[in-house]
Amino acid sequence: MILELVEFNTPKGWTREQVAADARQVFAKWQANKDLVSKSFVLDLSGKGVGGVYVWPSVEAAQRAHNEEWRQNVIKRTGAAPTIRYFDLMATVDNAHGELKEFPEAAEMTKQPAA
């Protein structure tokens, strides 16, 4: 599994409620994406940045969803390009549901020792 962290600026002057209302407009889009395992919408505590924490089966799936058209839309709305980072999702502990999940190594990750 791949964890993708996407961050971008909050549109200038937006409140938490405006950010939440904007996010609600894309809930159905993300629910309809058959590749997406999960997505969390996050707001920096300063209110100046927003992001998404995505879980995907592959980097390719993430890149299909976050293509150049999507990137240009973020730039148009926020004035800056998003930053995107990919992680090999090794395991999740979900205490709310009493679950522990471990995942095999992501095929896209380079085999290098951890620092």
The two three-digit tokens of residue 27, written as one number: 């809930």
Side by side, which strands form the sheet with 38-43? Answer: 38-43, 49-56, 2-9, 83-88
| 9 within a domain of the structure (yes/no) | yes
Q: How many domains does the chain fold into?
A: 1
CATH number at residue 7: 3.30.70.100
Q: Across the chain, what does the average pLDDT equal?
A: 91
pLDDT 10s digits, 86-103: 999 999 999 999 999 999
Tell me the CA distances in angstroms from 32 to 4, 87, 110, one per residue in order: 18, 23, 30
CA distance 60 to 66: 10
| 113 within a domain of the structure (yes/no) | no
| 16 within a domain of the structure (yes/no) | yes
> What domain range includes position 93?
2-102
Confidence of residue 31 (pLDDT cuts 50, 70, 90): very high
Confidence of residue 108 (pLDDT cuts 50, 70, 90): low
Q: Is the pLDDT of residue 114 over 70?
A: no
| 49 within a domain of the structure (yes/no) | yes
The Cβ-side half-sphere exposure at 6, using a 13 Å CA radius, reads 23
Instruction: Output phi, psi for 84, to 5 deg.
Output: -130, 130
| 115 within a domain of the structure (yes/no) | no
H helix intervals, 2-112: 16-24, 27-32, 59-65, 68-78
Confidence of residue 83 (pLDDT cuts 50, 70, 90): very high
| 108 within a domain of the structure (yes/no) | no
pLDDT 10s digits, 51-70: 999 999 999 999 999 999 99
| 114 within a domain of the structure (yes/no) | no
